[in-house]
Amino acid sequence: MAVREVVVGSRIGLHGRPAATLVRVAAAQRVPVRIAVAGQEPVAASSIIAVLALGARGGDMVTVEADGEGAEAALEAVAAVLARDLDAESADV
């Protein structure tokens, strides 16, 4: 199993738009990706309800994990989205 820790880059955290972006990227991967906040069980990163329920805020450390062929590439894609400040990017639009 591949595992990576990532700091949530979005200032407000994984709320509406950043969560939806994360879910789209996770769902597009060839392997299931799970995400967890410290002290919580991992949830499917492809589920908007599960991701919102994590309550991850900006600056929180989250753990993402995947298993199977393509797991490292999946984590790379998901980690790249998590690390970005999607709140700032949406303000520029």
Q: What digits encode the pLDDT tens for the residues 40-62? A: 999 999 999 999 999 999 999 99
Predicted local distance difference test score (pLDDT) of residue 89: 75
Identify the H or E element spanning 62.
strand 61-66
Residue 45 to residue 60: CA distance in whole angstroms: 16
Q: What digits encode the pLDDT tens for the residues 75-92? A: 999 999 999 998 787 655
Of 80, 9, 20, 79, the residue nearest 48 (C-alpha): 20
Q: What percent of the chain has pLDDT over 90?
A: 90
Active-site position among 11, 15, 57, 84: 15
Q: How many domains does the chain have?
A: 1
For residue 10, pLDDT over 50 is answered with yes
* Alpha carbon 80 to chain centroid, angstroms: 9
Tell me whether residue 15 is one of the annotated catalytic residues. Answer: yes
Domain that holds residue 25: 2-91
Average pLDDT, the chain: 94
What are φ and ψ of residue 84, in 5° steps? -75, 150
Return the CATH number at 49: 3.30.1340.10
